[in-house]
Amino acid sequence: MATIVQFENVGLRYGPGPETLSDLTFSLDEGAFYFLTGASGAGKTSLLKLLYLAQRPSRGAIRLFDADIVTLPRARLPGFRRRIGVVFQDFRLVPHLSAFDNIALPLRIAGVTDDQLRPPVEEMLHWVGLTDRANALPATLSGGEQQRVAIARAVIGRPELLVADEPTGNVDQEMATRLITLFEALNKLGTTIVVATHDFNLLGKVADGQMLRLEKGRLADPTGGLRYPPRHGGAG
Ligand SMILES: Nc1ncnc2c1ncn2[C@@H]1O[C@H](COP(=O)(O)OP(=O)(O)OP(=O)(O)O)[C@@H](O)[C@H]1O
């Protein structure tokens, strides 16, 4: 299976303090489904930011889509970002656009005409249970409804990589199951998926799901022990 993401000894430091992420060495297979778990503050969002190119590492090498993204010229970043769907923890919907138009955004950016984009947007609205909220502005939607719009927007363009930060944090279990089914359908079409979650119920819902676990900024063995222990016996 081809590799879509490769991290080699990656570290991330936000300021003068200790590293938030340390010694990350792993690869993600193209077309696979990953859950990223770990306690609050372990570094999940930070790792996702490296994956969707919102953050550059402080050290180490990252290859994405077969390119060295650490040295990638800034001008090429937007082209890479368009290949990645992102569900942000805080949704980041465009406030003056309706649910319909937020979901339609990736297709509009890709040059799809209004006539052509209506059927897929309506299908997505139906899938996330928001057909009757199509014209609503984000501020008038509940947190769970906003989250569903954010998910629909992230998946509609069938990205090569989907990165989702706590995508079911604001919905009930029934909707969480439905949303994971949507991710699985996208995964079957070839999208590589990385879902950061605290919800262990989700893990059992994807037959081929693999788990990555962060512990204090380091990648740990999902079964417990640290796979990449600190070299000098530190606590990590
Ligand atoms: N922009 C930033 N500047 C400085 N420190 C940051 C920044 N973003 C995150 N951090 C710190 O990095 C650490 C990891 O944060 P991160 O949000 O990646 O963790 P997380 O595992 O996603 O947590 P949660 O599950 O609570 O969302 C935290 O100590 C956090 O305070």
Cα four-point dihedral sign 65, 67, 71, 72: negative
Q: Closest ligand 1 atom, CA of 38? A: 21
What does each C-alpha distance from 50 to 31, 72, 184, 198 come to in angstroms? 19, 13, 23, 20
Which SS3 state, helix, strand or coil, does residue 190 take? coil
* Mutational pocket test of ligand 1: of 10, 45, 48, 49, the residue with most ligand atoms within 8 Å of the beta carbon: 45
| Minimum CA distance residue for ligand 1 atom 18 | 43
What does each C-alpha distance from 119 to 12, 33, 122, 188 come to in angstroms? 42, 27, 5, 21
* Mutational pocket test of ligand 1: of 20, 195, 199, the residue with most ligand atoms within 8 Å of the beta carbon: 20
- End-to-end Cα spacing for the chain: 32
ipTM of the complex as predicted? 0.97
236 residues of the chain, pLDDT tens digit each = 799 999 999 999 998 989 999 999 999 999 999 999 999 999 999 999 999 999 999 999 999 999 999 989 989 998 999 999 999 999 999 999 999 999 999 999 989 999 999 999 999 999 899 999 999 999 999 999 999 999 999 999 999 999 999 999 888 898 899 889 989 989 999 999 999 998 888 888 998 899 999 999 999 975 544 444 444 443 33
| Phi, psi dihedrals of residue 192, rounded to the nearest 5° | -80, 135
Left (φ > 0), alpha (ψ -120 to 50) or beta: where does 227 sit?
A: alpha
Q: Could you tell me if 194 and 163 are in contact, meaning their C-beta atoms sit under 8 angstroms apart?
A: yes
